[in-house]
Structure 1
Amino acid sequence: MSTLPDRPNTALVVIDVQNGVIEGAYERDSVVANIHSLVERARAEGTPVIWVQHSDDGLVEGSGEWMYVDELSRLESEPLVAKHYGDSFEATTLEQVLGAAGVGHLVVAGAETDACIRSTIHGAFTRGYDVTLVGDAHTAGDKSEWGAPPTPDVIAHTNLYWSFQSAPDRVAAVVAAADVDFTGAVSR
């Protein structure tokens, strides 16, 4: 139902599950396990898996912190999108990768909830995509020392407000990892 009528397919987009990003993140192990399960299911169902990997001055390309966590491994056939901004679409190849695969519905998981996840789901929605946020497959580190709410509240709030997003001819949804539907059907 996206505004991209020639793109009937769904893709799993895994964002920034890198050592330096999720070290010490809230419920790190269970979130990574949920993402691993999603990746395996997507592969089994023939759904494209697209990996996004951030780098900047604090997350240097090629460093151990920059690497994806050991529990997740990208197949050589799966696209890897390098990014330098919060929104995975900004100055990247993500739009071209999705277009080539005929993708109009994104299932999003990864890190960090209050930064790259939020930026990307909003960026996708404004570009015409249907966006499903996997409610138990995104996380963030604690930023309360800078005035942010506790991380569980950040995650809960993101899941809450994303479940009420709306725009013409697009659907936003939040589902648990176990309930993700890779067939492309999106419902509220």
Structure 2
Amino acid sequence: MNDPFFFGYGSLVNTATHDFRQIRLARARGWRRAWRHTDLRPVSFLTAVPDNDCTIDGVIAAVPGADWLALDEREHAYDRIAASAQIDHDAPHPLDIAIYAIPSDRHRPPSDASPILMSYLECVLQGYLHRFGVEGVTGFVATTDGWEAPILDDRAMPRYPRHQVLAAEERTMVRDVLTDAGARILMSLA
């Protein structure tokens, strides 16, 4: 039996945040990313939302032995959705691929009470920079809605459990991306 795969479009693109292997670049047709909040988590984060006119870059990786337990726990606010027919990849044979998305009736726009964590956003952008280069970061921004969301600068005491240390040039890239997107940064009081 072949292992199933997941399509990662956010922090899962940054392979320093997980132990899944057999990573391949991929594209999801009919999906767009959005910054959203759900009552299942205290802060806002990315979800995939249906959009017939959009394609998003990401990665696919095998889930050995179809043991979804750890990944489902990590992605506990999401539903795992079959998406094989929407994922383009270079594997030599068809794959069983799932994408994680918050159910449409369970999310809403971020607010000051539920901001995006800078430590999460930096992790995502670092992953895109390493996998897709500067063009991939630009594409990420263009295919993600919700840049008006508040971003909590928690870098001094990162709240995202899988945060990564960014090199100086990566931090400059993040600053430039957020400036270009017109993002609103909230300073952490912690």
TM-score normalised by the chain length of structure 2: 0.33
Higher-Rg structure is 2
In terms of fraction of residues, the more strand-rich structure is 2
TM-score normalised by the chain length of structure 1: 0.33
